[in-house]
Amino acid sequence: MKSLHQLSQKQTKKVIGLMSGTSVDGVDAALVEIRGHGLETQVELLAFHSHPFEAEVRNRIFDLFQPETSRVDELCQMNFLIGEIFANAALSVIRGAQLEVREIDLIGSHGQTVYHLPPQIDAQYIPSTLQLGEPAVIAYRTGIPTIANFRVADLAAGGQGAPLVPYIDFLLFRGTDRTIALQNIGGISNVTLIPAGAAGSDVLASDTGPGNMIIDSVMEMLTDGAEKYDNAGQLAAQGSVCESLLGEWLQHPFIGARPPKTTGREAFGRQFAHQALQRAQSQSLAPADLVATLTAFTARTIFDYYSRFLFPHYSVDEIYISGGGSHNLTLMRHLKTLFQPISLQPIDSISISSEAKEAIAFAVLANEAIYGHPANLPQVTGASQPMVLGTFSPA
């Protein structure tokens, strides 16, 4: 069994990052080779595998999102079942890389977020977060030490528990002469701004609002589950934006709230999608018009965040896009129009896989944990202090 001390003595390690996001498509598994740690971190992607959830499992996960119907016994079982699925994803990416389990040093698992209650002024709840995918199951099934539960330490210190990827963005993408923004468009959209010559304390990051989540939910509703997303933005391209409905949605309180702030399914999940569908039907909007308006809403919320909180203070030289939203051509057209003349490029253009980026981040977070490096950025999350993230499950 590899101890934390033994792992920390290795200059080069093979680490798997596991991630399932708010879209609940499946588990992304990135196998990377990591050299060094901290500011000397270097990462090479060896293999990537996306392990889809079976329809029944995906439906059971969505049921957990509904506090009025979810049950504690189901929550308990799903924690272990999702752990099994994450373990299988790790084993699959190892096979894909034609390696042996004994060659892998560590796993970093984000798990599947089922509920997230970040600190808010006058909140009537205890700030908390819950990611399922029992790390002890992952460690046992794979025989590989596993670090998970990365969000809880930041929340314990008064932070939002998110976003956590900005620390990794800083390690991997910091530079000396350009101010860049890394815009991820997953289920939720988030941005990391790295000013030219930045130190870690200079990095800014936040959720900007919805990404693909509402569009995906509405597509499922419109097609009775036959379509899970708007492929390449084709349906949105056929519709027209309803400006009155767009203006109504842009009044959502999250949009104008000052950072640090995070959001998720609780604000922009199926309930929002159902209400959007009802409003569209009341105005006799065609399905294509509804999806076009939702796509414009995602683009506008991203641009609105930059306009309110970044552009008044920074001149952004380049924006790099990652996540599933980068494949939505209609969404990308909106963004390029809004942000011109700033260049928008896929993050693949700077030698990192868009699909694998977030899974890679949790591999690096696991590597940082074994050295006891704090990996939250308090100015980003609102935590009272830097915190070492993650809990350790030995193999």
Q: What is the pLDDT of residues 84-109, one digit of tens each?
A: 999 999 999 999 999 999 999 999 99
Residue 369 pLDDT exceeds 90: yes
Would the pLDDT of 66 be above 90? no
Q: Is the pLDDT of residue 46 over 70?
A: yes
363: closest CA among 108, 36, 38? 108
199 and 97 share one domain: no
Which of 384, 385, 214 lies closest to 291 in space, CA to CA? Answer: 214
What was the pLDDT predicted at 1? Answer: 66
Contact between 354 and 321 (Cβ < 8 Å): yes
When pLDDT is cut at 50, 70 and 90, the band that residue 3 belongs to is confident
Q: How far apart are CA 89 and CA 26, in angstroms?
A: 9
Residue 47 placed within a domain: yes
5 compared with 374, residue with greater pLDDT:
374
Q: Quote the CA–CA distance of 255 and 267 in Å, as a whole number.
A: 11
Average pLDDT over residues 37-56: 95
Number of domains comprising the chain: 2
Residue 279 lies in a domain: yes
Q: What percent of the chain has pLDDT over 70?
A: 100
CA distance linking residue 138 with residue 104, whole number of Å = 13
Predicted pLDDT at 202: 96
Are residue 241 and residue 334 in the same domain, yes or no?
yes
For 264-285, write each residue's pLDDT tens digit: 888 999 899 999 999 999 999 9
346 occurs within a structural domain: no
At residue 266, the pLDDT reads 84
- Does 348 reside within a domain? no
Question: The domain that contains 48 carries what CATH number?
Answer: 3.30.420.40
The Cα diameter of the chain in Å comes to 64
Parallel/antiparallel/unpaired status of strands 106-117 and 146-148: parallel
Segment 297-317 shows an average pLDDT of 97
Alpha carbon distance 242, 176 (integer Å): 43
pLDDT at 70 over 80: no
Task: Give per-residue pLDDT as tens, 180-223.
Answer: 999 999 999 999 999 999 999 999 999 999 999 999 999 999 99
Quick check: is 350 in a domain?
Answer: no
Q: Does residue 249 carry a pLDDT above 80?
A: yes
Whether residue 185 is found in the same domain as residue 324: yes
Average pLDDT, the chain: 95
Task: Count other C-beta atoms under 10 Å from residue 225's C-beta.
Answer: 11
DSSP secondary structure string for all residues of 182-223: EEEESSEEEEEEE-TT--GGG-EEEEEEESSHHHHHHHHHHT
| Full-model pTM | 0.91
Query: Does residue 379 carry a pLDDT above 90?
Result: yes
209: nearest Cα among 315, 333, 294, 120: 294
pLDDT above 90 covers a percentage of the chain that reads 87
pLDDT value of position 123 = 87
Distance CA 92, CA 383 (A): 36
As a whole number of angstroms, the distance between CA 205 and CA 181 comes to 9
Q: Is the residue at 113 inside a domain?
A: yes
Q: Which of 341, 368, 385 is the endpoint of a domain?
A: 341
For the stretch 222-237, pLDDT in tens is 999 999 999 999 999 9
State both tokens at 361.
């981040």
Domain residues for 153? 4-164+355-393
Decide if 373 contacts 36 (C-beta within 8 A): no
Are residues 40 and 179 part of one domain?
Answer: no
**What integer pLDDT is reported at residue 170 of this predicted model?**
96
